[in-house]
């Protein structure tokens, strides 16, 4: 699975993190908001696929979302965003290259100059200013910068995940997390060795079609085309080599973990579940798996 894929999908994770999946058995596509009902639920719950850096103003265009927010008793996220704010020290530590290493030590002179040039031109910083920032962090900063350039958002807006949780707290509703901050940090920063992070950083910054891939991804998301998003992420021309083990950890294992928790959560209280949109798609996606577990899963349009 390509690092451009991973970095683009950091947009959906906090990047969501997310990866291409197997062919779908059912057409769970056409919406980013789905109703989950039946079985032993006290009332309908809803699951919304998020894009972690798109403007929250987009939420106004999702049919039925306000009703879903108002009718459910709690909000479920990948993680509790308040924990991120409360433990910025952990995030900062995770974003540093281990063992005090720097790019001056890790890169050839040619590569150092290339990365320095890209950072100066695109992010307005010199590599010497971020000598100890991890490659995966720089990759994600680079991709987010490209995303904001080709698809600008309101600077004052919140990301979707924060928006839903802020709404819940303002209404006095509980906020539950499917993962801890420590788990998310492990997925984002410690999943691959440093040498691989470096190779994938250079793969990302030298891509000649990152902007067009991001624009296509953004367009598909806004249309609720989960199948199209899935296919885009699985395209061989999206650059950089694949990594099935990474896909298994970031997509399948996490979905399995969440599916162990969601039935009890939804049975205890009607819920609005907000997770990266590609976790919804495909045979192993949450929508199909919940359907196989006996729930009625229908798009809200």
Q: In angstroms, rounded to a whole number, what is the distance separating the alpha carbons of residues 166 and 175?
A: 9
Give the confidence band of 24 by pLDDT, cuts at 50, 70, 90: very low
Tokens 């990047």 locate to 15
In tens, the pLDDT along 56-110 reads 788 999 999 999 999 999 999 999 999 887 788 888 899 999 999 999 999 999 9
By mean pLDDT, which of 12-26, 101-115, 127-141, 188-202 is the weakest?
12-26
pLDDT given at position 236: 60
pLDDT given at position 12: 47
In tens, the pLDDT along 155-171 reads 566 788 999 999 999 99
Q: In the chain, what percentage of residues exceed pLDDT 70? A: 87
Burial of 13 (0-12, 13-18, 19+ CB in 10 A): buried
Cβ within 8 Å of residue 142, ≥6 positions away: 7, 118, 122, 123, 204, 205
CA distance readout (Å), 293 to 37, 40, 110, 214, 297 = 12, 11, 54, 34, 10
Give the confidence band of 239 by pLDDT, cuts at 50, 70, 90: low
pLDDT given at position 55: 75
What is the token pair recorded at 214? 């991001």
**Average pLDDT estimate for 24-29:** 68
Q: In angstroms, rounded to a whole number, what is the distance separating the alpha carbons of residues 238 and 215?
A: 13
**Average pLDDT estimate for 14-26:** 41
Give the confidence band of 192 by pLDDT, cuts at 50, 70, 90: confident
Does 213 have pLDDT greater than 90? no
For the CA atoms of 79, 223, 27, 62, what is the dihedral angle to 10 degrees?
60
Closest CA relative to residue 146, chosen from 198, 213, 225: 213
Tokens 């451009």 locate to 4
pLDDT given at position 249: 84
Containing H/E element for 274? strand 271-276
pLDDT given at position 26: 56
Does 34 have pLDDT greater than 50? yes
Instruction: Tell me the backbone φ, ψ of residue 299, rounded to 5 degrees.
Output: -75, 145
Give the confidence band of 297 by pLDDT, cuts at 50, 70, 90: very high
For the CA atoms of 269, 64, 294, 259, what is the dihedral angle to 10 degrees?
-60
Q: In angstroms, rounded to a whole number, what is the distance separating the alpha carbons of residues 184 and 81?
A: 11
pLDDT given at position 237: 60
**Average pLDDT estimate for 255-268:** 98
Q: HEC states along 114-136?
A: HHHHHHHHHHCCCHHHHCCECHH
CA distance readout (Å), 256 to 22, 167, 261, 262 = 15, 28, 9, 10
- Mean pLDDT score of the chain, rounded to an integer? 87
Give the confidence band of 141 by pLDDT, cuts at 50, 70, 90: very high
Does 273 have pLDDT greater than 70? yes
Give the confidence band of 2 by pLDDT, cuts at 50, 70, 90: very low
């Amino acid at each position: 699975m390509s690092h451009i894929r991973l970095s683009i999908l950091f947009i959906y994770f906090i990047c969501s993190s997310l990866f291409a999946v197997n062919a779908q058995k059912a057409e769970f596509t056409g919406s980013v908001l789905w109703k989950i009902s039946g079985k032993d639920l006290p009332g309908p719950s809803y699951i919304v696929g998020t894009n972690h850096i798109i403007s929250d103003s987009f939420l106004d265009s999702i049919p039925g979302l306000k009703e879903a927010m108002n009718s459910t008793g709690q909000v479920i996220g990948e993680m509790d965003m308040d924990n991120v704010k409360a433990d910025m020290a952990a995030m900062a530590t995770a974003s540093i290259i281990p063992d005090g290493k720097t790019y001056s030590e890790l890169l050839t002179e040619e590569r150092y100059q290339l990365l320095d040039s890209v950072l100066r031109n695109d992010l307005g910083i010199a590599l010497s200013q971020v000598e100890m920032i991890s490659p995966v962090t720089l990759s994600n900063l680079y991709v987010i910068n490209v995303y904001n350039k080709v698809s600008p958002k309101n600077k004052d807006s919140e990301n979707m995940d924060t928006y839903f949780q802020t709404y819940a707290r303002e209404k006095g509703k509980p906020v539950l997390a499917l993962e801890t901050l420590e788990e998310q940090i492990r997925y984002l920063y410690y999943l691959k060795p440093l040498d691989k992070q470096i190779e994938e950083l250079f793969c990302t910054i030298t891509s000649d079609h990152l902007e067009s891939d991001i624009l296509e991804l953004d367009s598909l998301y806004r249309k609720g085309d989960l199948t199209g998003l899935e296919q885009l992420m699985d395209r061989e021309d999206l650059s950089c080599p694949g990594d099935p083990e990474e896909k298994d950890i970031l997509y399948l294992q996490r979905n399995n973990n969440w599916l162990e928790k969601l039935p009890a959560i939804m049975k205890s209280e009607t819920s609005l579940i907000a997770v990266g949109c590609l976790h919804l798609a495909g045979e192993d996606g949450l929508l199909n798996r919940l359907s196989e577990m006996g729930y009625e899963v229908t798009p809200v349009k």
